[in-house]
Amino acid sequence: MSNANSSVNKIKAKLAFHNVPDADAQQQFLAVLKGLKGNSAYPIPPVDLAAYEKGVDSFGTLLTDAQDGGKKAISAKNKQRVAMIKMYTDLGHYVESACNDDLATFNTSGFIQVVRTKTAPGPLAGSSFQWIDRGSNSGEIAVKIAALIGAIAYELRYTLVVNGVASGSMTTLTLTSPRQLILTGLTPTGTYQFQVRALGKLGFNDWSAPMTFICA
């Protein structure tokens, strides 16, 4: 028998306060105090709400005291902020469990829901070469494809160019990473045309603009 709750999205409370200004943190502490105080949906919180309310009031007073820039007042304010975040976090985990994943019930708590959104893959940017250079030996060209965010694989194609016209069919190579590649067996003093494209989740992007290089 399948679990009826297996497909329910678990509600999570936003509990992080990194880079949250003190004034904004205090407003959220107050919102939770207002939401939980006398709320029958949350009858046995793990933090005594009278103690929590006292902590909220204390933090508000210390915020005012710390405005003069005194080190002692700022230290006391910071210490109280840490204590409030600890109580707030404990209450948040309790609310996550006690609301039974009912959003209407969760919203009465004063906590903010974490909303997770999936970003659809977008098309890849244009491909290019990081560099094209001479190889160590005659008849060699070293090629380095520029890495592209989101690329799964790369295709490199090249051909000999005579009097500005491709002299034959393209040679195409597939690469799983934008590593350096040494092309060998090329015609010394010959001019070669290079293009690259990349494969992403939505398919290949366009071939890059042709680049030419004279083989040593």
Q: Examine the pLDDT at 165 and tell me if it is beyond 90.
A: no
User: Is 10 part of any domain?
Assistant: no
| Mean per-residue pLDDT over the chain, rounded | 92
The Cα–Cα gap between 212 and 160 comes to 9
Question: Rounded to two decimals, what is the model's pTM?
Answer: 0.55
Q: Examine the pLDDT at 7 and tell me if it is beyond 80.
A: no
User: Is 123 part of any domain?
Assistant: no
Residue range of the domain that includes 203: 129-214
Mean pLDDT check: name the lowest of 110-114, 116-120, 181-185, 205-209: 116-120
Q: What is the mean pLDDT of residues 176-192?
A: 93
Q: Examine the pLDDT at 39 and tell me if it is beyond 60.
A: yes
**Residue 97: CB atoms within 10 Å:** 12
The Cα–Cα gap between 74 and 78 comes to 6
- The answer to whether residues 100 and 160 belong to one domain is no
- The answer to whether residues 93 and 142 belong to one domain is no
